[in-house]
Amino acid sequence: MAATRTDLANAIRALAMDAVQKANSGHPGAPMGMAEIGLALWGGKMRFNPQNTAWANRDRFVLSNGHGSMLQYALLHLTGFDVSMDDIKNFRQFHSKTPGHPEVHYTPGVETTTGPLGQGITNAVGFALAEKLLAAQFNKPGLDIVDHHTYVFMGDGCLMEGISHEACSLAGTLGLGKLVAFWDDNGISIDGHVEGWFTDDTPKRFESYGWHVIAGVDGHDVDALNAAIDAAKAETNKPTLICCKTIIGKGSPNKAASHDCHGAPLGDAEIAATREAIGWPYAPFEIPADVYAGWDRKAAGAAFEAEWNTLFAKYAAQFPTEAAEFTRRMKGDLPANWNDIVAAAVSDANSKAETIATRKASQNALSALCPSVPEMLGGSADLTGSNLTNWKGSTSLKVENGQISGNHISYGVREFGMSAIMNGIVLHGGFRPFGGTFLMFCEYALNALRMAALMKTNNIFVYTHDSIGLGEDGPTHQPIEQLQTLRCIPNMNTWRPCDTVESVVAWAAAIGERTTPSSLVFTRQNLQFQARTEQQLADIAKGGYVLVDAANPQLLILATGSEVDLAVKAAAQLQAEGVAVRVVSMPSTNVFDKQDAAYKASVLPAGVPRLAVEAATSDFWRKYVGLEGDVIGMDTFGESAPANLLFKHFGFSVENVVARAKALLK
């Protein structure tokens, strides 16, 4: 006899409470309360193939309330993904496929790493935006090779985080009609009943964003949920919020509807009582065959993909160039002649020898590189004219009559939202997003940058106005400690180029990355072009190299960005006074640190005194100069004044560098 819907939903409840209990940690309440929502969506409405998690046209699913991870793991296991019962039993254990919060690349079927609340729904906006743009670029009449939905589960915590406002507001403006979010309205968070701290009228809030809102859905009624999903899919010009009233921990006789089941195991006695209450007589981690059969989506998933493969074959026959380009972009491959493109761009920048701001050099680099990489998708958080993330071939994103076009996004004043949306875009596939703001305002977005590095995405964060060099805006806008913060994020490459050539190399390196995000940091003010040999041009990509050398150097001066020319001028004065000085430009300390020991020793030989110069916190440079070296840096906040006065006031002058160098040599 076929399993009932109740049995299918209770399988989720049982797996959730058993896995959390075995791990002695976790969150059983949300999975137990959202079991019927999971059944309605994963049991029939969502299109995916458990046997091919990379199928290009699969629906994307995001568990924004990532603490409820056992809900997703149970769904993956039951529907046929490569998540075994042993994986379920190893929930939250070392090197398991089922970590405490869902992690992309670890668990088959997990699209993004969630946990920090609000970022999942924001990633989902990126997924949905990528789908809409990719469809606009590649679909042909009768051949919609890009046609899928993005589904999100989220709770009150996601809605309380400010980033959800940033992302959902923009999603409404952009008319992301294939984005469907389920709000688990259970009224509980860690501290208890939320009415003491969360009384927003959520349906009206989302209506004001321009969303299609389906309110008052019983989150335990599968028929009602199915009807809501159908209504959501019928609305193609607005994202949809389905408001699902649920009972957290449903089935637990004594802990349901309470924060007691939010973030702690139910306990053996309560689990036994729950089994009896829901009519689940099976042993821990036991799922009967009829329940497995009722959940199995392997055959349906294979049929979905086979249907699409037939469609794509027709598409490729009629549009072979577009089909090849779609395949390349979804794989994340660069054009075959990429190295030649980069070499030409570097050569052009070197021959022009321009003295310009590196933010302008960045724009020039984009104009040189982007025409060959049409998947580049730019943007800025309301600072396009300052960040210069627009380039000669960019067009502003716009939506007219439901149709979307453009390759440069005006994100509005939404630095955190922009960064997490970019994470979703790149995880979807088909695009390489980059987005800009002032370096000071990376502070708003740091957790999204950390998530990018953790997820091994290769998106590109652009930061301009990189120091006290922005001048009169004063200390609120002058970054001091931000460079050190970015450099200290594991798996993040931070570049601070000193001129036009280093800017091109930085962009080429960032675009060439496969599993590492990059932060590119540029100046507002003009920087002097630096002449280089062919070997020096080649060595820029190593993150640090000898820019000015002398036989048997008595002193090494290390610098980045706007301070490189200062170091070069100071070295020239010292050389004139008989002091042999080597200047090392280090545009990316992260990349330099990855070089082999021999190369690093050739650039920074032991036993030679070292002086580092950078208009940022000084402590970072101790790893290179040692306690016996010296650093000219910023250990206070800035001031409001013209940049030239500020640099002199804080010791960034040829005279001070020379004086500190002489003092170090004594």
Q: What is the pLDDT of residues 567-607, one digit of tens each?
A: 999 999 999 999 999 999 999 999 999 999 999 999 999 99
- Residue 340 sits at φ, ψ, to 5 deg, of -65, -40
Q: pLDDT-derived band of residue 1, with 50, 70 and 90 as boundaries?
A: confident
Tell me what pLDDT residue 421 has.
98
Say whether 115 counts as a known binding-site residue.
Answer: yes
Tell me what pLDDT residue 449 has.
98
Say whether 67 counts as a known binding-site residue.
Answer: yes
- Write out pLDDT tens, residues 477-533: 999 999 999 999 999 999 999 999 999 999 999 999 999 999 999 999 999 999 999
Q: Coil, strand or helix: which one is 183?
A: strand
- CATH 3.40.50.920 domain span(s) along the chain: 542-664
551: left (phi over 0), alpha (psi -120 to 50) or beta: beta
For residues 459-481, average pLDDT: 97
- Write out pLDDT tens, residues 151-167: 999 999 999 999 999 99
Say whether 477 counts as a known binding-site residue.
Answer: yes
591 to 450, 495, 498: CA distances (angstroms): 18, 9, 16
Is the Cβ–Cβ distance between 532 and 583 less than 8 Å? no
Tokens (6 digits) for 562? 């706007």
Res 141 pLDDT > 90: yes
Question: Rounded CA gap, 375 and 6, in Å?
Answer: 46
Is the Cβ–Cβ distance between 65 and 155 less than 8 Å? yes
Beta strand 493-495 pairing with 518-521? parallel
Is 639 a residue of the active site? Answer: no
Say whether 223 counts as a known binding-site residue.
Answer: no
Say whether 311 counts as a known binding-site residue.
Answer: no
In which residue are the tokens 């009449």 written? Answer: 141
- CATH 3.40.50.970 domain span(s) along the chain: 5-303
Tell me what pLDDT residue 143 has.
98
Say whether 441 counts as a known binding-site residue.
Answer: yes
Mean pLDDT computed over every residue of the chain: 98
Strand order in the sheet with 212-218: 60-63, 150-154, 179-185, 240-245, 212-218
Looking at the chain, the whole-number percentage of residues with pLDDT higher than 70 is: 100
Cβ atoms within 10 Å, residue 619: 12
Say whether 15 counts as a known binding-site residue.
Answer: no
Is the Cβ–Cβ distance between 560 and 535 less than 8 Å? no
Taking the model in full, what pTM does it have?
0.98
- Write out pLDDT tens, residues 179-226: 999 999 999 999 999 999 999 999 999 999 999 999 999 999 999 999
Say whether 524 counts as a known binding-site residue.
Answer: yes
- Catalytic residue (choose from 415, 502, 563, 614): 415
Question: Rounded CA gap, 418 and 60, in Å?
Answer: 19
- Write out pLDDT tens, residues 417-440: 999 999 999 999 999 999 999 999
Domain 542-664 -> CATH class: alpha beta
Say whether 37 counts as a known binding-site residue.
Answer: no
Say whether 193 counts as a known binding-site residue.
Answer: no
Say whether 156 counts as a known binding-site residue.
Answer: yes
Say whether 574 counts as a known binding-site residue.
Answer: no
- Write out pLDDT tens, residues 236-275: 999 999 999 999 999 999 999 999 999 999 999 999 999 9
Topology of the domain comprising 5-303: Rossmann fold (3.40.50)
Question: Rounded CA gap, 524 and 428, in Å?
Answer: 33
For residues 347-354, average pLDDT: 98
Say whether 428 counts as a known binding-site residue.
Answer: no
Q: pLDDT-derived band of residue 446, with 50, 70 and 90 as boundaries?
A: very high
Say whether 77 counts as a known binding-site residue.
Answer: no
Say whether 214 counts as a known binding-site residue.
Answer: no
Question: Rounded CA gap, 326 and 316, in Å?
Answer: 10
Is the Cβ–Cβ distance between 576 and 512 less than 8 Å? no
Cα end-to-end span (Å), the chain: 90
Tell me what pLDDT residue 21 has.
98
Tokens (6 digits) for 455? 């997820």
Amino acid at 351: S
